[in-house]
Amino acid sequence: MPELRNPARLMIKNGGFEGMAFELSSAETLIGRNPTTDITLLDEGISREHAIVLYDPESDSYSLEDLQSTNGTQVNGKRVRSVTLADGDEVQVGRTLFRFSRDAEQV
């Protein structure tokens, strides 16, 4: 896989893990309740494999896809199936709220 030019991060904004950050350094980052996911959340309101963040090296962009979860995924308060993420977007998975960050200073 080609090296990411500017890896992004998801930072938890609420709850007991507030401030915890996950670097999105792979082409695919799986979010869910299953211990085998890349970002594992202890939240009964989310699916084992709830959503995935995909990196597109050609456009140097990230997108988020809901994996047909029961309770859905929200970006900036709106339920989504698939969306391109922008710096500052708020992503909600179950009760966990993340902030997507694409700051060029963070590598």
The DSSP secondary structure of 8-61, one letter per residue, reads EEEEE-SSTTTT-EEEE-SSEEEEESSTTSSEE---TTS-TT-EEEEEETTTTE
The pTM assigned to this predicted structure is 0.90
Q: Report mean pLDDT in 10-residue bins for the chain, 107 residues.
A: 70 93 95 97 93 95 97 97 98 97 64
Bridge-based pairing of strands 28-32 and 51-56 is antiparallel
pLDDT of residue 1: 44
